[in-house]
Amino acid sequence: MIDLHCHILPGIDDGPATIEDSLALARAAAACGTRTILATSHVSWRYPNDHQTLARLTAELNARLRAEAIELRVLTGAEIAMTYAMEAEPAELSRLGLGGGRWVLIEPPFTQVVGNLDLLLVNLQRAGLRVVLAHPERCPAFHRDPQMLRSLVDSGILTSITAGSLVGRFGGEVRRFALELMHEGTVHNVASDAHDHLRRAPGIAQELERSGFAPLTAWLTEEVPSAIINDQEIPPRPAHASSRESSSRWLPWLRRKRIRRVS
């Protein structure tokens, strides 16, 4: 598997504090079947990391992984806060691309209203960048206006949700929305968004299986992220082999949640 969103670099954001903590996360990821991790440390006004620092730490971590015989490679990337991206130069943002490519991971704010998001994303696309939205299922603004997210996807934006959202690790409302997005086909990737090896661990496949989406694992965690980091065409979403089973399992629950919200 390729983990497209993981905070594995040490000492620069709210992820691992030390290189030893990074190695513990790496061992846990490898044990879960992950073979490639995108090091998506925060780039924001709170964590003003730059591409030189991220590249240096990625190289140092890869050297330690080889020395420790951990079967995992780490590629450069970043999780860029929307508020930072609005003021950063496109040239700087392009150096923060996933795997060094054109795709950038943009984090929407955890607010009820997201002003000018569509304008920002249009400007990024005009600058030659392509956008993956990080954990949109956790953005309250998309809960209030899911059509905004659907419109962004229609315009060519990809979405990457967090595996833990599918099994309730961020609460029932986030879980409901994540499952809804999965069923309607507006999710292109599921990543760990891991921050450590225990509390925010790097699991992905188990969460997909528990939520009924195991048949999509290869597309979500191998085919799409591989296309992103290699700047290739995004492969079409395959038919969900167990869609009938998973729909009968989850859709009545989703409908009950919608009714309760309206009433």
Instruction: Give, for 31, the enclosing helix (H) or strand (E).
Output: helix 19-31
The residue-averaged pLDDT of 228-238 equals 96
d(CA 61, CA 7): 12
pLDDT above 70 for 254: no
Residue written as token pair 């979405």:
159
Model pLDDT, residue 240: 59
* Of 114, 193, 108, 122, the residue nearest 157 (C-alpha): 122
How many CA atoms lie less than 13 Å away from 95 in the CB half-sphere? 12
Q: Among the listed ranges 20-29, 85-94, 175-184, 207-216, which one has the minimum average pLDDT value?
A: 85-94
> What total of structural domains would you count in the chain?
1
Q: Are 166 and 182 in contact (CB under 8 A)?
A: yes
Q: Please tell me whether residue 69 adopts helix, strand or coil conformation.
A: coil
CATH number at 64 reads 3.20.20.140
d(CA 213, CA 207): 9
Gyration radius of the chain over CA positions: 18
- List beta partners, residue 191: 162
Residue written as token pair 């190289």:
59
Question: 81: Cβ–Cβ under 8 A, 6 or more apart, which residues?
Answer: 42, 43, 44, 45, 46, 107, 109
Model pLDDT, residue 171: 97
Q: Output the CA torsion sign for 222, 228, 229, 233.
A: positive
Model pLDDT, residue 246: 46
Structure tokens at 165: 């959202």
pLDDT band at 52 (very low <50, low <70, confident <90, very high): very high
Kindly report, residue by residue over 121-132, the tens digit of the pLDDT.
888 988 999 999
Q: Please tell me whether residue 104 adopts helix, strand or coil conformation.
A: strand
Structure tokens at 249: 């399992």
pLDDT band at 241 (very low <50, low <70, confident <90, very high): very low
d(CA 60, CA 207): 30
Q: Among the listed ranges 82-91, 192-201, 232-241, which one has the minimum average pLDDT value?
A: 232-241
Model pLDDT, residue 210: 97
Query: Per residue in 92-119, is it b (16+ CB within 10 Å) or e — as a string?
Result: ebbbbbbbbbebbbbbbeeeeebeebee
Kindly report, residue by residue over 131-151, the tens digit of the pLDDT.
999 999 999 999 999 999 999
pLDDT band at 233 (very low <50, low <70, confident <90, very high): very high
pLDDT above 50 for 239: yes
Question: 17: Cβ–Cβ under 8 A, 6 or more apart, which residues?
Answer: 10, 11
pLDDT above 60 for 258: no
d(CA 11, CA 6): 14
Note down the domain range covering 177: 2-262
Kindly report, residue by residue over 178-187, the tens digit of the pLDDT.
999 999 999 9
Kindly report, residue by residue over 20-33, the tens digit of the pLDDT.
999 999 999 999 99
Kindly report, residue by residue over 101-116, the tens digit of the pLDDT.
999 999 998 888 777 8
Longest Cα–Cα distance of the chain, Å, equals 59
